[in-house]
Amino acid sequence: MSEPTDVPGRDPERLVSFLSDRLGDDFRSLVEYHPDEQVVHYVADDIDRSVAVDRLDRIRNLYEGERLACRPTSDDPSFGPLFASTHVFGGALVVHLLDEAGTAIGFSMDHGVGGRLSQFVEECLAVLYDSHPWTN
Which DSSP string do the residues of 53-86 spell out, in sequence order? HHHHHHHHHHHHHHHHHSSPPTT-GGG----EEE
- Which pTM was predicted? 0.79
For the stretch 1-31, pLDDT in tens is: 455 456 677 889 999 999 999 999 999 999 9
For the stretch 111-128, pLDDT in tens is: 888 877 777 667 766 777
Q: Is the dihedral of CA 72, 78, 84, 90 positive or negative?
A: negative
The Cα–Cα gap between 113 and 16 comes to 16
Q: Which domain holds residue 86?
A: 12-128
Asked if the structure places residue 98 within a domain, the reply is yes
Asked if the structure places residue 7 within a domain, the reply is no
Asked if the structure places residue 6 within a domain, the reply is no
Question: How many domains is the chain built from?
Answer: 1
For the stretch 84-120, pLDDT in tens is: 888 888 888 998 888 777 788 889 999 888 877 777 6
Strand ranges for 15-136 from DSSP E: 27-34, 37-43, 84-88, 93-98, 104-109
Asked if the structure places residue 35 within a domain, the reply is yes
